[in-house]
Chain A
Amino acid sequence: MYKNVNPLVLTNARIIDPANNVDEAGAVIVQDGTILAAGAEALNQGAPDGAKTVDCHGAVVAPGLIDMGVSVGEPGAEHRETLESASRAAAVGGVTTILTSPNTDPVIDDPALVDFMLRRARDTAIVNVHPMAALTKGLAGKDMSEIGLLKEAGAIAFSNDRLPITNSSVLVRLLTYARDFDALVVHQAQDKDLAGSGVMNAGLRASWLGLGGIPREAEFVAIERDMRLVAMAKGKYHARLISCPQSAEAIQKAKNDGLNVTAGISINHLTLNENDIGPYRTFHKMSPPLRTEDDRQAMVKALADGTIDIIMSDHNPQDVETKRHPFAEAEYGALGLETMLGAGMRLVLNEDISLSKLLATMTCNPADRLGLPAGRLSKGAPADLIVFDPQKPWIVEKDKIRSRSKNTPFEDETLTGRVLTTIVAGGILDHDAI
């Protein structure tokens, strides 16, 4: 599957490297799996001996994407997704590094399971895989997991997945304990009682559809609480996914106060709104729910002004058994790995944000938060790259989805911007063979 070309020179490219503030015509030289040089002056010393040159014909060359939110189904739900199938989906979507969610069966809350994930990924995945471990044992929100041992085993961050930790005392102790290991706490804030039995955004749409609503307050009351707890524990916190402007305000205030806080959002919440649910489309049932168009626009603004740091796919493969139900009974979640960049291009084409900014939120921003050397074209960084045509339109066809599940919210839609080539650690992945 990999074509190993060493050294490799990508010429005639638009080099976009947000970490180094680069957006210019130039070349990238890859040697022994790392970046040797990138930019307009990369070839000033000439190409290395024996290098193979690939002409990019003006396409964008950028760092491969880093996705902080991927459910893989393995172990426990391999019929929905495996590390192997998720990594193929990632590769065609330009995602060269995925962070796996601990919401598997069994839950990744034991060092031996982190080891299992790393070994399975090494043997079956074609992109880089970093497992996140559960923040609490069994994701039950009660007892803290072995943050030290899990981190030593290779857990890159600690998350309770989509399950909020309602007990403030538990969360503050987790933040406090994690601090000793410089571990990142990734939390999906939600007040369970306020969310109640809601299944979509509370408001007029939900009322007409006869569905229970989840008010914005269920999120931002919890985010505001979390910010107070982060201040109390002096912890390192990443809001997994925020969906309404009041949450963004709370994050911005915390940042202004000097707290070690970042925020993420899913590509869905930046490009879709509750109207897309239409006649009970369960592929658009998400947690937190898709909000109104006003909320979506506010979130795009929060992304543009830097309040929101990281875009993730929130890739959550679900199959017919979990999605073909009445809306209220269907599972939450949508695919995202293959469409994250194409969907994100909508924001660029709409001139909401620059391409460089979009790429920053999918490359160097997550890398910096996680302490990864990837996500940039600096000399010595891993040669995880994408060659990408931002103008190329394509249709999201169900049959061509690499994921084992097909629950994409963009089915049959046209996205503009296509990844042509994905390079992981210097190895070229041929999309036709994936």
Chain B
Amino acid sequence: MSKKTTHRSSAFPHRHLLGIEGLQPPHINYLLDLADEAVEVSRQVEKQKAVLRGRTQINLFFEASTRTQSSFELAGKRLGADVMNMSVSTSSVKKGETLIDTAATLNAMRPDLLVVRHHAAGAVHLLARKVGCAVVNAGDGPHEHPTQALLDALTIRRHKGTLGGLTVAICGDIRHSRVARSNIILLSNMGARVRVIAPSTLLPSGIHSMGVEVFTDMREGLKGCDIVMMLRLQRERMSGAFVPSVREYFRYHGLDSEKLSYAKPDALVMHPGPMNRGVEISAEVADGPQSLIREQVEMGVAIRMAVLEALAQNLPDNH
């Protein structure tokens, strides 16, 4: 075990990427710099790098996600890894195998990189303790989604030059959002001013102590913002449990051009996808000139290449 430690790069001294929590600003900047290079690679005709040649990457998705899974898959392949996708429907989890058993089974296949999405907060941490390879959290319940926060940061940095000093509003279902948690940590650490805007029923308890400004009125919250990040509202939360209806939610918390006009004129709009048009965002804004939503998808592949590369540098040369 100690031998592995000596392998770790000082630029990114982490064996896993389980969350944004624990990453220092230099580590984040290092990943963003690597990702900038990955963007260049991805824009060439020849998109292959060899840094993961011979390595095996398993994408283990206990929760369906076309977008994130394909993004990780492409990232791995562009770095030369052998990538295998395992989704819950084809795994033995349905047959009653526990998470630990699944981990042990996978571990025996000797992967180098394991990308995990799970519906339960903390599941990825548990798995990381039981396997010998590097683990990337691709979203664990409402806890963290570090590569999303990193790709958001990359997108912002490429447009605004820096994260420090920006005012960023995160809007919508903060309570249930792993994207919100990872972004709050990352943006605060990088010196941005973070606001959250949501109906009170969609704010997690303790939000006032999370180092963010809290708003329940969207126009008020958007005043002077540089970045507006919208969150997806899950369908089961739209009909009375947390908010009364889609039309009421859109009226008070959906981003349309009228509400967006309260932010800075050059404010940029982001959304982790998949979008509910007419629920949290109007089609006009989603497809408008201030929207970075498509670009976020491109940055997603780049940041995942950066994360895989950084972790691979810390892998032992042999098992």
Contacts and interface: CB of A to CB of B under 8 A. Distances in A.
A143 B200 contact: no
A146 B216 contact: no
Interface residues of B, number: 16
A180 B242 CA distance: 13
Given A176-B200, A177-B199, A180-B216, A145 B241 contact: no
Given A146-B247, A148-B248, A148-B252, A176 B240 contact: no
A193 B244 CA distance: 27
A146 B241 contact: no
5 contacts: A144-B244, A146-B248, A149-B248, A177-B201, A180-B217
A144 B240 contact: yes
Chain A CB count within 10 A is highest, among B200, B239, B242, B243, for: B200
Nearest to A235: B200
Contacts of B201: 173, 176-177
A52 interface: no
User: Which 10 A/B pairs are nearest by Cβ-Cβ distance?
Assistant: A143-B240, A146-B244, A146-B248, A180-B216, A176-B200, A177-B201, A144-B244, A176-B201, A149-B248, A173-B201
Contacts of B200: 176-177, 179-180
A205 interface: no
Contacts of A142: 240
B242 A145 contact: no
Interface of B: 199-201, 216-217, 239-245, 247-248, 251-252
Nearest to A140: B240
Contacts of B245: 146, 149
A177 B217 CA distance: 12
- Chain A at the B interface: SS class: helix
Interface string A167-189: 00000010011011000000000
A147 B244 contact: yes
Interface string A143-168: 11111110000000000000000000
A281 interface: no
Contacts of B244: 137, 143-148, 177
A410 B244 CA distance: 42
Contacts of B247: 146, 149
Given A177-B201, A180-B216, A137 B240 contact: yes
B244 to A, nearest CB: 4
Contacts of B240: 136-137, 142-145
A168 to B, nearest CB: 14
A180 B244 CA distance: 13
A148 B239 contact: no
Nearest to B198: A180
Chain B CB count within 10 A is highest, among A148, A149, A179, for: A148
B251 A177 contact: no
Contacts of A149: 245, 247-248, 251
Interface in A108-155: 136-137, 142-149
A247 to B, nearest CB: 27
Contacts of A147: 244, 248
Contacts of A136: 240
Given A143-B239, A148-B252, A180-B199, 5 more contacts: A146-B245, A147-B244, A147-B248, A176-B201, A180-B216
A144 B202 CA distance: 14
Contacts of A180: 199-200, 216-217, 252
A423 B163 CA distance: 64
Contacts of A146: 244-245, 247-248
B256 to A, nearest CB: 15
Nearest to B252: A148
B243 A143 contact: no
A177 B199 CA distance: 7
Contacts of A148: 244, 248, 251-252
A137 to B, nearest CB: 6
A4 to B, nearest CB: 40
A157 B217 CA distance: 20
A143 B242 CA distance: 9
Nearest to A152: B251
Nearest to A137: B240
B279 to A, nearest CB: 15
Nearest to A179: B200
Interface in A49-82: none
A177 B241 contact: no
B4 to A, nearest CB: 47
Contacts of B252: 148, 180
B241 A143 contact: yes
B248 A173 contact: no
A149 B251 CA distance: 8
B188 to A, nearest CB: 25
Nearest to A142: B240
Nearest to A234: B200
Given A146-B247, A179-B200, A173 B242 contact: yes
Contacts of B243: 144, 177
Chain B CB count within 10 A is highest, among A137, A145, A146, A179, for: A146
A145 B244 CA distance: 5
A42 to B, nearest CB: 42
A159 to B, nearest CB: 16
Nearest to A110: B245
B237 to A, nearest CB: 11
A180 B249 CA distance: 12
Nearest to A143: B240
B222 to A, nearest CB: 16
Contacts of A173: 201, 241-242
A328 to B, nearest CB: 33
A145 B245 CA distance: 8
Nearest to A136: B240
Contacts of B217: 180
A11 to B, nearest CB: 49
Nearest to B205: A232
B278 to A, nearest CB: 15
A146 B245 CA distance: 7
A180 B216 CA distance: 6
Contacts of B251: 148-149
Contacts of B239: 143
A100 to B, nearest CB: 21
Contacts of A176: 200-201
